[in-house]
Amino acid sequence: MWAMPTVLTLHTTGMAVLVGASWVLDLRLLGINRNVPLSAYRWVFRAVAIGLIVNLITGVLLFMKNATTWGTALPFLAKMAFVVASAATILPIRTYVLNSGAGPNEISGRARMLAVASIVAWTAAVTAGRLLAYLVP
Amino acid sequence: MSSLFVLNAAHLHLVLNHVPTLGMAVGLALLLLALIRRHEVLVHVGLEVLFVIALVTLPVYVTGAAAYAHLRSGADFSDIAARMHQDVALTGFAVTEFAGFVAWVALWQSRRIGRAGRGLVAAATVLSIIALAIMGRAATLGGEIHHPEIRAEGVAPPVVGTNGEKVDVTDQFVAARISRYMVNSTWAWPAAETIHFLGLSLSFGVLLAINLRLLGVMRQVAFADMHRLLPWALLGFGANLITGMLFFVGQPGQYVDSPPFHWKVVFLLIAGANFLYLTVFKKAWADDGFDSRFADKAMAVSSIAAWLIVLYAGRMLPFLGNAF
């Protein structure tokens, strides 16, 4: 009786940490707080890693419960695609942040594009995930 | 989870319902006094009172809806009087929240540049006057629910149309119309849920960053720079307050007796108090190499814990309560 609510709550908490921390860094790359050195944001990657691991485990558990219907459902496949796309933006962003110096940094156009892609992809992933509950029985 | 309510909802509503009127009057008096005496500290206190009133008005509305759900089936209960009270209270709630929001922006700004913008203070003052007027009206209508002897003649809308046909009076009420829309529309509820989840991610992420700074992560970053992020947290929270109220007004029956919902509201108040502390406290601004004091670290831990409990209780609503 407690398993399902607990797994769902952990999945939501993981989402908040993962998506929230990503967005904070994305906002920085887009110019919010530009006088803060990028090196101060290294904690974001640890938070994202923790969120991803928690949500991978809880996500697999949630999928197991609904495998027969979700396995072929378009909203679920779309969500997976968005999650993979979102996670894929993190790697180049990480490389960019780790290679930047300690002072206030100019952000390259490519990094800005990655930040926009990250915000959009996470928004799409959360939207698809939330709508999954309504679109797929 | 068992319910927090030792008193029943109607009793709790009677205790709390003086806050939006009397509390707002106190906040307004402080602001007016501050304007006359040109006293900056008094301005801050007045704005802080407005923010706290905006917080406490949430449980006032919630307990009111709970009282209505419990009392409406009573034989001598006037459904129309209660619905009229609820509609005015809902409008008053919206204006009060907006006044609290403007007050918060003024406080945030004054923490950054030393004094609150005069335009913002004037806007907060005007909004609190409007909120006070609407809440005064809501209080009068609320009193009339159980005191028919003070009910003014002719305020109740007619139940019978001009041609003698019966009219569904519930159609005239804003809360009833919001409820019908939220329940009948195929996309309104899922869309609001989606925004609610996006809002929670934004709020939680930003507050996690700021509180981690207080706990010693990103020590080389000045607290003033973290403080700049606070409006983003409020943006996420604003989206969640609006969508959350759409759920609550849409299906009050799902929430009013739900223990996780009661806990959620209580911890929202704690999280709100934390948020005010993060906005206005001075110590962290003293120098760049700031080492948080124990009290600040305790604040940071309690803030993260309060938001986690809000999130947990919210996610538990369908399981421990009966919400969908």
Q: What's the pLDDT tens digit per position in B196-223? A: 999 999 999 999 999 998 888 887 788 8
Q: Tell me which residue of B208, B192, B214 sits closest to B306, measured CA to CA.
A: B208
Q: Domain containing B33: what range? A: 1-151
Q: Which of B:160-219 have CB within 8 Å of A?
A: 189-190, 193-194, 197-198, 200-206, 208-209, 212, 217-218
Residue A47 CB contacts under 8 Å (≥ 6 apart), including other chains: A17, A18, A21, B208
Residue with tokens 């704690």, as numbered in its chain: B270
Which phi and psi (to 5°) does residue B288 adopt?
-70, -35
Q: How far is CA B286 from the centre of its chain?
A: 32
Residue B266 CB contacts under 8 Å (≥ 6 apart), including other chains: B4
Pairwise CA distance, residues B287 & B222, whole Å: 8
Q: Which of A:47-106 have CB within 8 Å of B?
A: 47
Do B6 and B146 fall into the same domain? yes
Pairwise CA distance, residues A82 & A128, whole Å: 8
Do B190 and B222 fall into the same domain? yes
For residue B220, the chain A residues in CB contact (below 8 A) are 37, 40
Tell me if B160 is assigned to some domain.
Answer: no
pTM summary value: 0.88
Do B121 and B186 fall into the same domain? no
Q: What is the DSSP string of B234-275?
A: HHHHHHHHHHHHHHHHH-HHHHTT-HHHHHHHHHHHHHHHHH
For an interface test with A, the pick among B204, B230, B322 (most A C-beta atoms closer than 10 Å) comes out as: B204
Residue B55 CB contacts under 8 Å (≥ 6 apart), including other chains: B100, B268, B269, B272, B273
Residue B272 CB contacts under 8 Å (≥ 6 apart), including other chains: B55
Pairwise CA distance, residues B238 & B196, whole Å: 10
Do B178 and B146 fall into the same domain? no
H/E element, B120:
helix B118-146
Do B238 and B294 fall into the same domain? yes
Instruction: Give the CA count within 13 Å in the CB-facing half-sphere of A16.
Output: 26
- ipTM (interface predicted TM): 0.89
Q: What is the pLDDT of residues A25-38, one digit of tens each?
A: 999 999 888 878 88
pLDDT at position B30 is 93
Q: How far is B263 from chain A (nearest CA, A)?
A: 15
Tell me if B310 is assigned to some domain.
Answer: yes
pLDDT at position B217 is 83
Q: What is the pLDDT of residues B95-133, one digit of tens each?
A: 999 999 999 999 999 988 888 888 999 999 999 999 999
Query: Which residues of chain B carry a pLDDT beneath 50?
Result: 1, 154, 289
Highest mean pLDDT of the ranges A69-78, A123-132, B79-88, B108-117: A123-132
Tell me if B178 is assigned to some domain.
Answer: yes
Do B131 and B22 fall into the same domain? yes
Q: What is the DSSP string of A75-93?
A: HHHHHHHHHHHHHHHHHHH
Could you say which of B85, B118, B151 is where a domain stops? Answer: B151
Reported residue count of chain B is: 324
pLDDT at position B148 is 65
End-to-end CA distance of chain A: 20
Tell me if B134 is assigned to some domain.
Answer: yes
Pull the structure tokens for residue B179: 């409820």
Residue with tokens 């009060």, as numbered in its chain: B96
Tell me if B104 is assigned to some domain.
Answer: yes
Q: How far is A49 from chain B (nearest CA, A)?
A: 14
Amino acid at B307: W
CA dihedral over B285, B288, B293, B298, signed as positive or negative: positive
For residue B317, the chain A residues in CB contact (below 8 A) are none
Tell me if B274 is assigned to some domain.
Answer: yes
Do B178 and B147 fall into the same domain? no
pLDDT at position A27 is 92
Tell me if B169 is assigned to some domain.
Answer: no
pLDDT at position B164 is 60
Our count of domains for chain B comes to 2
Tell me if B166 is assigned to some domain.
Answer: no
